Amino acid sequence: MEFAIPISRFDPSRVTWGDPRSGPFRKIIPFGYSENSMRLNNLIIVLQPLRILEIDWARNQVILEESKKIPFLTKLDHFQNNITAEIESIPKHSLHDVHLAHRAQVSLQPWLKSKKLTLYLSSQPDTLPFFTETGQAIFSEANIKAGDIIRAVVKVQGVSLQMTEDNVWTGKSRIQHHILQLYKVKSD
């Protein structure tokens, strides 16, 4: 069983970093979460209801913004800043066997930018676990549109470092995540 942390209880300073795992042309440094005596090997966050600004069906992205009343995305911004600070320190202390290519600029692809959160859908968005007030539905243009309010459960797998064929970090990275479930709270 995996536990999810509501964004209202999420504390970015409690995110733990695991050992890097190698994949083709990337290394993923997994995230966990630790609070008091509780240690989670995964980081799963339940977001507050967010308004859909745009769904890019070609790039499989949904861009969300929060209500002005409940500013919880600032926690994700703080989390993103913590990740940026940590990856900028990688060349200084080398994280296991991760080495930075000469003259490479260290950068994190923003997950949250200008108070807008970009979540990547799967390559087959219609297979996402998606629920409406009437039950399970298919995530499609017929059931979801800009202006709708949704709630997402997101597994934040870690930070992905882009590597060369020679296993050298290019300096580029991004927050690797996977949407576990989406709930349509209401329509616009």
User: Across the chain, what does the average pLDDT equal?
Assistant: 87
Residues in contact with 156: Cβ distance below 8 Å, sequence separation at least 6, in sequence order? 31, 43, 44, 45, 175, 176, 177
What whole-number distance in Å separates Cα of residue 12 and Cα of residue 57?
Answer: 30
Cα–Cα separations (whole angstroms), residue 144 to 59, 94, 137: 16, 44, 10
- Comparing CA positions, the residue from 110, 109, 102, 75 lying closest to residue 169 is 102
CATH classification for the domain delimited by 5-186, as one of 3.90.1570, 1.10.357, 1.10.150, 2.40.50: 2.40.50
The tens digit of pLDDT for each residue in 143-186 reads 999 999 999 999 999 999 888 888 788 888 999 999 999 999 97
pTM of the model: 0.88
| % of residues, the chain, pLDDT over 70 | 88
